Amino acid sequence: MNSLLQVYIHIDMDAYYAQAEQKLLNIPEDQPVCARQWNSLIAINYPARDAGIKRGMLSEEAIKLCPNVMLPHVETFKVIDGKMVFSTLKDKYIQHNQYEEKVSLRYYRQESKLIFTTIKRFCNCVEKGGTDEGYIQVSEKELEDIEAQQFYGHLMKELPEDYQLTEQDHLLRRASLLCQNIRDAIYTETKYKCSAGISFNKMLAKLASATNKPNKQTIILECMLPECISNIGINKIRGFGGKVQEALLESGLKTVGQAQTLSIYELQSLFGDKAQYIYDKLRGYDDEIVKKEVDLKNKSILSLKNIKKTSSREVIIQSLELILHDITMRVTDYYEDSNLVPSVLVIHYHNVEKGSHQKSEPIYLTLPIESFRLTIEERVHSILNQIQDNEMFPLIHIGISCRYFKPMIQGIQNPITMFFKKILEQQEYEKQAKLAEMQGKMISPDDYYSCSICGQEIMKKDKESHDDFHIAENLDKEMNPKKRKYKSLQQTNSNSQSNVNSKSKSKQQGLTSILQFLKKQ
């Protein structure tokens, strides 16, 4: 396969939690079913949607709309005599106490593992986007034995009768058959239905999978751009969360098509050095790759619990007992799968008057596995003792997350190793505190310079690496002039120099606005 031609598939389970409950309880496919958490509905299958039921509705509202709807509750657990006691199938239709129990997603995660095991039999480069979705980057080898004389699925836009398929189109046609085979295998082996998208980049594959639900697949070819995505909402574009989405919506731009009317210069006035990135994505071009390996730096396991408004540490301790058991179980499961343990533990808490806060400390988990819970508990109480009552209360939710997973530090835990372990912990704590302090410092305009090549404002300390980037980019352009990432650049190349000149005339003004944008980020 030409290295410039890429094939991506996005697999998205249809109303996954509801499907999982149907499978568990042997409920027919045409029966309206909603997965319930406490008294709120968190997943709605398609027969229930046809009856007008929506996600987030209360159970009573759903029953009024559809008297025969089934509302099984997700699995929960209590802690009794220091042990986790899970709800049973008999508890599926009773009312649960959200203050004495905690939701467990254990069953959904187990089913998700089965689904991804099936997917990985067909393709090697797979990235989990959650328990119910995944991205696949298809290799040449995985397509070599597949011949397809037609597209399998729905084309996002009808092709002209005289259209000649490109080399890339032929690959996507073969990938559509591969995708159909994957979806068939998932249903045969696990009984789950899913939708899918097939395209030449990750972003478009995800957009395509959401177009024809449920249980269908959709293909986007390059010739269909940018018109075929013009009616899609801005909020559906991967990477357009936060301030990008907010700025576009405030400008009255709700769809991709409306945002496509903005020139590169108008986007620069809104987003500074992010303008080209946004311009490309609005036209369907994106260079994000599938991350086969877990990003250990960003790996996080989080467990939260909502509680009644309280100013009592005793109430917090009761809630933390549930959270401690839950996160210990999940950290243990992850260790058994990956041989990795967290190096930082974080307490999250939400003060009604002062908002959300968090406080962290390093953590060192060692064998035996049975010691994990006690180590996590000790670290949690160490952090809690540092938080003053006026910082924490009144409180409405609290949680624990474990982050930055690394291989376990092995060794015999004798007094000497324990002594050095404490030194390491203190060094790590000081490192984290120093990093937080550095990140909190204000950025000065004097720390930046204007790049004469691209016009971007770059931190002076990054000048050498930024210059190297332009050297490498120029070499890449010479060697690969037809590379897709340069197509949108060519559209604005004739005017780029004049834009740089205009920026330099008002350098201080432009610098100030970009710095303000970066600080908000």
pLDDT tens by residue, 439-485: 444 434 444 445 555 545 444 445 554 455 445 455 555 555 554 44
Alpha helices (H) in 339-401, listed in sequence order: 372-384, 389-392
Within this chain, domains 231-291 and 296-407 share the same CATH topology = no
CB neighbour list of residue 78: distance below 8 Å, 6 or more residues apart = 84, 85, 100, 101, 322
Q: Which two tokens stand for residue 288?
A: 């994000």
Res. 229: pLDDT tops 70: yes
Res. 224: pLDDT tops 60: yes
**CATH architecture assignment, domain 231-291:** Orthogonal Bundle (1.10)
- Going by C-alpha positions, the residue among 14, 48, 43 that lies closest to residue 31 is 48
CB neighbour list of residue 96: distance below 8 Å, 6 or more residues apart = 38, 73, 76, 87
Distance of alpha carbon 386 from alpha carbon 380, whole angstroms:
10
Res. 511: pLDDT tops 90: no
Q: Phi and psi dihedrals of 351, rounded to 5?
A: -85, 125
Give the homologous superfamily in CATH for domain 1-27+72-224. Reverse transcriptase/Diguanylate cyclase domain (3.30.70.270)
Residue 361 CA, chain-centre distance (Å), reads 25
Encode pLDDT of 102-140 as tens digits: 999 999 999 999 999 999 999 999 999 999 999 999 999
Encode pLDDT of 371-412 as tens digits: 999 999 999 999 999 999 999 999 999 999 999 999 987 544
So what's the pLDDT on residue 491?
47
Which has the minimum average pLDDT: 229-233, 352-356, 513-517? 513-517
Mean pLDDT to the nearest integer, 242-254? 89
Share of the chain above pLDDT 90, in %: 68
pLDDT band at 414 (very low <50, low <70, confident <90, very high): very low
CB atoms within 10 A of CB 455: 19
Summary mean pLDDT of the chain? 84
Res. 419: pLDDT tops 70: no
Report yes or no: 74 and 41 within 8 Å, Cβ to Cβ.
Answer: no
Mean pLDDT to the nearest integer, 496-513? 44
Strand duo 40-44 + 300-310: pairing: unpaired
Res. 15: pLDDT tops 60: yes
Report yes or no: 221 and 45 within 8 Å, Cβ to Cβ.
Answer: no
- The pTM (predicted TM-score) of the whole model is 0.75
Sorted by where each begins, the domain ranges of the chain are 1-27+72-224, 231-291, 296-407
Mean pLDDT to the nearest integer, 317-346? 93
Which has the minimum average pLDDT: 37-46, 244-253, 293-302? 293-302
pLDDT band at 166 (very low <50, low <70, confident <90, very high): very high
DSSP state for residue 260 in the 8-state scheme:
T
Distance of alpha carbon 197 from alpha carbon 195, whole angstroms:
7
Tell me the torsion sign for CA atoms 40, 44, 49, 51: negative
So what's the pLDDT on residue 21?
98
Which bin fits 81, alpha (ψ -120 to 50), beta or left (φ > 0)?
left
- Going by C-alpha positions, the residue among 37, 266, 5 that lies closest to residue 138 is 5
Specify burial of residue 449 (Cβ count, 10 A radius: 0-12, 13-18, 19+): middle
Task: Output b/e per residue, 190-222; b: 16+ Cβ within 10 A.
Answer: bebbbbbbbbbbbbbbbbbbebbbeebbbbbbb
Mean pLDDT to the nearest integer, 218-240? 94
Res. 438: pLDDT tops 60: no
Strand duo 76-80 + 83-86: pairing: antiparallel
So what's the pLDDT on residue 239?
83
So what's the pLDDT on residue 444?
41
**CATH architecture assignment, domain 296-407:** 2-Layer Sandwich (3.30)
Report yes or no: 72 and 92 within 8 Å, Cβ to Cβ.
Answer: yes
So what's the pLDDT on residue 198?
98
DSSP state for residue 241 in the 8-state scheme:
-
